[in-house]
Structures are given as structure tokens and as C-alpha cells.
Structure 1
Amino acid sequence: MTLNFESLGIEPDLLTKLAEHEITQPSPVQAQAIPEMMKGKHVLARSQTGTGKTLAYLLPLLQAIDPQKKATQKMILAPSQELAMQIVREGQRYGEQRGIRVLGLIGGAAIKRQIEKLKDHPQLVVGTPGRVRELIAAKKLKMHNITTIVIDEVDQMFQLGGAGDVKNILGTAQRDRQLVFLSATLNDEIQALAKREMNDYVEIGIDPDQKTASGLEHYYFVTEERDKVDMLRRLVRHFNPRKALVFVNTTNAIGEIEAKLNHMGLTTASLYGDADKVTRSNVLARFREDKLKVLIASDVAARGLDIEGLEMVIHFDPATDSQAYVHRAGRTGRMGRKGLVVSVVTERETFIMRKFSRELDINITERALYGGRVVVPRPADAKRAPVKPSEARTISDAVESGKAPVRGENGRPGRTAAAGSASGKGKGAALSKAGKAQRERERKNKGAPRWLKEKGSKPNE
């Protein structure tokens, strides 16, 4: 029997809505999580970003809600405002026809307005931990009717310092509530929380050894620090994605990079973590509507974003660790699509690429832009950048044709192979005795005072 949403127990009205969005076959995480959630089981699900985790928990939640009951019945927690509002939009899309009211409770928005909307008794609330805890403490958000709590991107929730808020929220809920944790990566702290809060939970692991989506290509390009913005421009121009998301590590640099790219003719905007809700929403709307070619963001600002048509992720600065690399890379190549992940690094940062390649068990290979083409660097660098055997001929051909850049002993780009061999044939003959003498005089006079240099330049002196 062919596995489909109907066989998983999804009801006809939701099936129709899924078909409207051309979603007909469940992804692996959906196929495993939906039946377990419908049974009321606690679930700890691990799956790469972009594999359909949102619908894996949203469909059974919506199906279990009683629209006639005026009480908050289900709760979803997310680590960032953007991810929370993204889930709200999905909840409204699939829940509206059922008469289900969905409310977003995020920091940065007017709390008085949220309190007013809570009086309408939304059946599903989606929020960030800090704001949800604040509303619970103010006794404006009632927890006694909530039967399921979903924590999305739970590993990022812990990394961003939300663990205390999460534990507090769980402590205010009924003991018999259902818990669902979803994440791309799991650590000891998350598993300890699951064991403490869940009794007899089901652990779902979709390709646990595969940390990133299989449809992604991973490359890195080496350049000088001062040339990073120009390299960024060249990469966007060369690969010409529909749109690209650029990650930086420090927000101080975002404004400068944005201004330079706009000056270079690339429509660019930035997403700051401390920007107000309206500004962030407007920027994301423009990016989703293809009115921007490039979006520059920090990890916090872009956490959990699902942007349709995002074909390329660029690390302007290397990710802080391999888990951060996974989450950045997960913004593209979602739901089995192809995607490109590129890092721009200096010579001293190349070891980070080797480290991520080893820890994630993926090929992150070095490439270079030369003559309007992407080429594989000279084999002498093979020990620094893993090269597949099938690429060996490409490397050899590029070097022999003089179209691949040659790196010197210090690893910096030098002349092409052809240029290097040609220039080396008659190096001694090219310099006459007069030329050598002139060079020697220039060397000696380099630090001489101006009057002495002028005197030495006069004839017969």
C-alpha cells in the first residue's frame, strides 16, 4: 500500500488543503511522527532542517483541537520571532477552514494587544519562551486546558538561553500533557530534559548520521579579509541564485556589507536581531516576494527561516560550530530540493572547513573563481581541501591549460601555471647588467632623502 496522508489518518478537509499546496506524499519525519502524536505519545524527533517537521506536528495538533471549545488547547514554542510567526501563518493556513483561532505571542510586539487577543480564547498559541512565560506569570495565559506542548528547534532554544523559560513553562502545565520535541541535533541536556519530563516517549530519528540534507553542495572559497565583500559579490553574480541568504557573525558588520552590495548593484537588505517587529516583517516580506536578491542576517535573526525559492546560503563568516553550520545550511535544499552552501574564508580559517567536513561527514571542497569560471585549485592543496577522485582530471586539465590559479608555498594565489612556466624559462637572460645596476641603485636609495635621490638622477653625477 502506498503511504500517503490519508493512510496516516489525516482528515479530508486537511487533505484538500495539502493538495492545494501540491503536498501529496508525507516526508519520512511526517510519516513517523503523525501516527505517534495521534496516539497521544510523547515524541522526541530528530531530523534535518527542511524535512517537513512543521507539518509533522501541526497536522495532528489541528486535527485534535475542538473548535467549539473556547480555551487554549495546544501550544507551540519556537526560539525566534520569525520562526514563531512562520508557524502562525502555517497554522492559520490549515486551521482557518476548521474555525481554529491561532495567536502568535512573541517578544517585541505590544503585550497589551496580545492580552486583548487572549480574551478571544485562541485554541492554538505559538510563541517565544520569554513572552509566553511573561504572560503566564501575569495570569493572562491559562495553562490548565493545554493538552499538548510542542517545542520546535529545541536545540536552538537551549543555545539561545531559553532553557530556563522552557522548564518554567513546562512546570506550569498539567502533568498529563503531551510533549513533542523536534530538533536537527540532540545533545545530553535535551535528552536529560526529555527523560525528566516525558514518560515512555517515542524517539524518532530520520537518518541520524546524516546531519545535512542530501541535496546540498558544499564549497568554500579562500580570499583575503579585505576582499571578502568583493568575493561575495562575485559569488552572487556567478551563481546567480533566485535569492541568497548571507550569514555574518557580528551585527556591527551587517550595515557596511549591505551598503557595499547595494552600491555594487545587488538589491540587498539586512535582518538585525534587535530590529523592531515591523521592520523585520517588512524585510522578510520583500525577500519572500523576490524584491531582494540578497538578505544579510545573523544566526539569531535568521533562526528557523523557511524561505521558498532560497537556492543559496553563503557564510560570509564561518559558522561558530558544526551545529550552527547545519542550521545555516538547512535554510536551503528543503524538502528534497537542491541547494548550494558556500563559505568565504581566509587562509587561516580553512582549518574550520576541514573540521566541519570531518564532524558532519560531508564533503566541503575548496573552489576558486578564475576567468569567470569556478575551478578546482591545484592538487598541491588537496590535503587541505578534500577532492573527489572523479575531479582529479578536472584539476589536471585546469592546471595544464593555465586556467587554474597556482598557490605558492604560503597558500596565496599566484600566477597561473602557464604564466609561471613561461616566465621561468629565461629569467636570467631577461635582466641585463644595466637593469641589475639600476635595481641595485633603487634598492640603496629607497630610504635616502629627496635631494639625494634627485641628485643621483641627474646625468654625469
Structure 2
Amino acid sequence: MAIKPELQDKFNTQFETPTPIQDAVWERLSDGEDIFGLAPTGTGKTLAFILPMLSRIDVKLKRTQVLILAPSQELAMQTTAVAREWGALIGVSVASLIGGANGRRQSDKLKKDKPHIVVGTLGRVLTMVDGGALKLNGLQTIIFDEADAMLTEERHDSLQELANQLPEDVQLGLFSATSGVDLKYVADTFHREVRPISVGTDAPASIKHEFQYVDQKARANMLIQLARNNQQALVFFNTISGLVNMQATLRHAHASVMSIGSNDKRQVQRADALRLFKKGEVTLLLVTDVAARGLDIEDLPLVVNAQIPQSKKTYVHRTGRTGRMGKPGRVLNLGNDHDIRDLKRELGDDFELVKAVNTFTQKADALIEKNKPERSRSDDREQTTTARVATKTAQNSAPVLPKAKSTPAPEVIEKPKKKKRSKVSKDKGKPKWANKRES
């Protein structure tokens, strides 16, 4: 049997049937095959590799047998939680190795517990290998989650360093929503021929893709209105600077907002932001593409591209945060005429983008009329002119609320400059196992 009975029983109580990617890879992974699993986002890829990996582990052997690598701290934490939940049924221990956490504590735990599964980011894993805390000589399987983001050219030196530490007969598993992986490079580096197994990379039909023409000020106003109407959304940015500036603007307007876009933040801060967003205590979560890779946020209603992605691959990964497992979802793309035209050209016929219905504009018009007080004819003419200008502005760009009911639109606040510290100050007290490649 591909999956151990205890795991299969739990799966059957939670799901009616395996998803196509789970059905396609369970037996192959259990048999030790080297595969590249391709499936749309939100189709159960994590359990597609977790359950057969758990089923292959010999719990009597106190050593690390499976290594799972993720491109971001958030995805590594999420995968760790899934592995621990299911592994507890059969006595499998799981450790998490991510940058931003206490490295000395991680090192001590590895030496003491010798976990069966290690989930982590590449930099921190290599640090633990270099320091002798993590032993890979007993490894039987290595999984690259979000493989198109893991096996990139800028990581080649680190990947080669990892490959040099792996046993010759290690099983290789790659998983992604897009096919942007150089399989020749994989074969040359890891000396394994992986077999592509695709169950389609098309966008789920349950997701509605919309666009709204905006300028910079209108973009901020749109996000402010989403927050004020308690419309929870994951908001994507192409750059850290764009995210930081927008977060300052939204906080100035007292919007409920947090972010996980910067790797400079402590891991606990990033974890808190994600936890509060999942609990519904934060309305807008601002993210960059790397930070949001593979995030599984149950029943997320809306993804907003505050900055339009430059490639179809990036668009697929972003939009996959909503509409997961066949549930309905919505994507709102904010940009000027040039941005939207380029996006439509990049996506081609695979995605149907429709003009968003601006419900906030309609609410603004209604509030203007409702709150209009009685006054003289001259004042009335002045008020009518003001209402027309406000309505026209809202229809052409961003939602506008009446002055009696809203705060003024905030100005963008530039990111404050950090005080420079000397190199001696920065490195003072750093443990030997810490280095710059952990992110």
C-alpha cells in the first residue's frame, strides 16, 4: 500500500477522494521513484509528498531520513505544521530549520532529537550541515517544494554544496505549479533523472479575475476602502520599497494592515502577522512573491495585485492563494492602462480579465446624496458641483467617500532611513554558525 493505514484512515475522514496530483504520485514516491510533480496551486501538493514520505520512514532509526526544502520561511513553517500533524499518528519526529529563528537552539535540538524529517530553508540547512549538527548520510529522500523558486541560478552554488553532501542513492522529488525548472541542470547537479508528472497547470475555473484602472493615489484609496469595509485580502507587491511605502500610507489611515514582505524582520514577527491574518484579526496582509510562496490560507476571498506581476508564472503563483481546492476566489489587478494592457498580453487566452464593478464608488455616491443638508440656492449649487466632481473622480480612479464620513486621503510616507552601524557592531556577539545566506 502506498500510504500507511493510519494515515489513510485520517485522510479518508477529512477528504472524499485524493486530488489528481495525490493520486498520480503517491505510489511512485512510495516506490522510490524520482519525480517532478506539476499541479495547479491549491490542489493538495503538500499532502501529495508528505504522506508517502511518512509511509517510507523507519521510525526505529533515530536519524534524519527526509529533507524538505522550501523557498521561504513561511512555507517551511507551514509544511512543518502539516508534517508534524500527520507524523504524530505514526511516531515520526519533525524539525524546522529556518533563518530568523534561534540557530543555537535548533542545533542543540538536532543533536539531541535526531528528527526523522527536517523541513527548512536552504541557507539555514547548509549552516547546520557545515556545523555538524545536521547529518545527511542517512538521508533517503529530498523534496524541493516550489521547485521553480528553489532551483534558480542564483542558488546554484548553494545547491551544488548541498548536492556534494547527499548520499548517491537519495530519492529526488520536485513539486511546483509551473514548469520553469531546468531538468538538465537537476540531472547534472544531483545525478538523478526525474520524471515529469503533470496533472495540468491551468488556473482554477472558480477564480474570477478582475482589473481596475488606478494611479498611485487611487491605488492607496482602494486598499483603504477594502480595509474599512472589512474585506480581507492578500496584497502583492513587486518590490519591498513599494510594500513599505504603502504600509506606511495605510497605517496613517488607520487601516488594519501587517506585512511579511521583508526578510529583515524577525521570524517571530512574520509568523505573528500570518497567524493574525489567518484568524481574521488583520484585514490586509502585504506580501512579496518570495514571502507568499505556497502560503495556504483557508477560504481566502481576495488576492490584490497592487503592483502588476511581470510574468505569467508569477501571476499563477499569486492567484493560487485564493480559490484553493475548488472553492470560489477573486483576484483584483490594480494598474494604469499600460499595466493592464501588458498583463492581458502576458496572460494570453489562459485567463479572462474583466473590469471590476466598483461597489465602493456606488456607496460613495449614495452617501453624498444622503448626507446633503438643506441650504440656500447658492450653497446648493456649490454642493451640487462638489458632488459631481467627487463622483467623476471616483468613477475614473479610486473610491471616494464624502468628507463628512471619511478622513483625508493620506500621503505616501517614505521609508525612514535606518541608522548605520559599524561592521564591528553588527558582527559583535554573532555565533559561529550564523552567516548571511540564511533568509
TM-score of the two chains, using structure 1 as the length reference:
0.74
Aligned partner of 1:55: which letter? L
Give the Cα separation in 2 of the matches to 1:38 and 1:324.
31
Alignment of 1:240-389 (within 5 A): 241=231, 243-262=232-251, 264=253, 266-271=255-260, 272-358=262-348, 361-369=350-358, 372=361
Structure-1 residue corresponding to 2:82: 90
Structure-2 residue corresponding to 1:383: none
1:297-342 C-alpha deviation (Å, 9 max, x unpaired):
1222222211112111000111132211111111111111111111
* 1:174 positional shift: 1.0
Give the Cα separation in 1 of the matches to 2:153 and 2:192.
26
Give the Cα separation in 2 of the matches to 1:107 and 1:257.
26
Q: After the TM superposition, which of the residue ranges 191-200 and 80-89 deviates more from structure 2?
A: 191-200
- Aligned Cα root-mean-square deviation (Å): 2.5
Give the Cα separation in 2 of the matches to 1:188 and 1:146.
23
Give the Cα separation in 1 of the matches to 2:74 and 2:217.
32
Matched, 1:205 2:198: yes
Contact 1:286–1:292 under 8 Å retained in 2: yes
Matched, 1:36 2:25: no
* 1:370 positional shift: 6.3
Q: Match of 2:126, SS?
A: helix
Structure-1 residue corresponding to 2:154: 161
Larger radius of gyration: 1
Residue ranges of structure 1 left out of the alignment (5+ in a row): 1-7, 375-404, 415-461
CA pair 152-220 structure 1, distance change in 2 beyond 3 A: same
* 1:235 positional shift: 4.9
CA pair 262-19 structure 1, distance change in 2 beyond 3 A: farther
Give the Cα separation in 2 of the matches to 1:370 and 1:93.
42
More contact order relative to length (CA 8 Å, sep ≥ 6): 2
* 1:23 positional shift: 2.1
Aligned partner of 1:81: which letter? Q
Give the Cα separation in 2 of the matches to 1:127 and 1:308.
22
2:118 alignment partner, one of 116, 125, 142: 125
Give the Cα separation in 2 of the matches to 1:30 and 1:270.
32
Aligned partner of 2:358: which letter? L
Give the Cα separation in 2 of the matches to 1:199 and 1:268.
45
Structure-1 residue corresponding to 2:139: 146
1:19-61 C-alpha deviation (Å, 9 max, x unpaired):
45x2231100000010100111101111111111100000001
1:91-123 C-alpha deviation (Å, 9 max, x unpaired):
110001211110011112222111101111101
Structure-2 residue corresponding to 1:59: 51
* 1:261 positional shift: 3.3
Contact 1:318–1:352 under 8 Å retained in 2: no
Matched, 1:227 2:218: yes
Q: Match of 1:156, SS?
A: helix
Contact 1:83–1:305 under 8 Å retained in 2: yes
Give the Cα separation in 2 of the matches to 1:159 and 1:201.
17
Give the Cα separation in 2 of the matches to 1:115 and 1:189.
33
TM-score of the two chains, using structure 2 as the length reference:
0.77
In percent, how many aligned pairs have the same letter? 33
* 1:157 positional shift: 1.5
Aligned partner of 1:332: which letter? T
Give the Cα separation in 2 of the matches to 1:121 and 1:370.
55
1:57-79 C-alpha deviation (Å, 9 max, x unpaired):
00001111111111111110111
Contact 1:247–1:316 under 8 Å retained in 2: yes
Q: Match of 1:149, SS?
A: strand
- Equivalenced residue count is 367
Give the Cα separation in 2 of the matches to 1:281 and 1:65.
29
